[in-house]
């Protein structure tokens, strides 16, 4: 997944989820799915979420969201269940997108740690070589 395309894809997933949740209300004459989206999923789809759990491979936030949507299943009619399954697929896609973003940020950020440490190690090595020659009688 190219890092530069992640915001556009995230926006596309948000629009799809929002449309799916809000279209289900008039069709089924129930606002359960729309309320769930507004209460629980709107913030999830609005921005990248769960940076550190993705870095440490923790699936608890995703499992919690899917558990809540599964609990909602018993209150829905047949059409809403189909919409909820599609919404769960969008949740998984968004979670995968956030996972890619988190790991790519770690890889890009690692350069800001690795390069300065490498140059400082080279400088310390050079100083060590100079000191070895100075105290071994090589530089008189």
Establish if 135 belongs to a structural domain: no
Q: Is residue 88 part of a domain?
A: yes
Q: Does residue 125 belong to any structural domain of this protein?
A: no
Mean pLDDT of the chain: 92
* Domains in the chain, number: 1
- What is the separation of C-alpha 79 from the centre of its chain, rounded to a whole number of angstroms? 30
State residue 56's pLDDT score. Answer: 97
Q: Is residue 96 part of a domain?
A: yes
Could you tell me the pLDDT band of residue 25, with boundaries at 50, 70 and 90? confident
Q: Is residue 131 part of a domain?
A: no
pLDDT, position 94: 97
pLDDT band at 19 (very low <50, low <70, confident <90, very high): very high
pLDDT of residue 58: 96
Domain of 66, in residue numbers: 3-112
pLDDT at 26: 83
Tell me whether residue 49 is in a domain: yes
Task: Report the predicted TM-score, pTM, of the whole model to 2 decimal places.
Answer: 0.83
Instruction: Tell me which of 53 and 73 has the higher pLDDT.
Output: 53
pLDDT for the residue numbered 138: 59
- Domain assignment of residue 81, yes or no: yes
Give me the percent of the chain exceeding a pLDDT of 90: 80
**Concatenated DSSP letters for 22-87?**
HHHHHHHT--HHHHHIIIIIHHHHHS---HHHHHTT--HHHHHHHHHHHHHGGG--HHHHHHHHHH
pLDDT at 140 over 60: no
Is residue 117 in a domain? no
């Amino acid at each position: 997944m190219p890092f530069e395309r992640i915001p556009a894809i995230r926006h596309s997933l948000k629009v799809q989820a929002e449309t799916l949740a809000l279209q289900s209300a008039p069709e089924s004459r129930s606002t359960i799915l729309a309320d769930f989206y507004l209460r629980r999923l709107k913030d999830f789809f609005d921005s990248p979420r769960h940076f550190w759990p993705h870095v440490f491979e923790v699936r608890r936030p995703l499992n919690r969201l899917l558990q809540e949507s599964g609990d909602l299943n018993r209150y829905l009619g047949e059409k809403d269940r189909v919409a909820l399954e599609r919404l769960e697929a969008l949740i998984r896609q968004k979670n995968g997108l956030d996972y890619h973003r988190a790991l790519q940020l770690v890889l890009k950020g690692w350069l800001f740690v690795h390069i300065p440490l490498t140059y400082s190690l080279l400088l310390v090595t050079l100083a060590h070589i100079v000191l070895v020659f100075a105290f071994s009688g090589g530089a008189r």
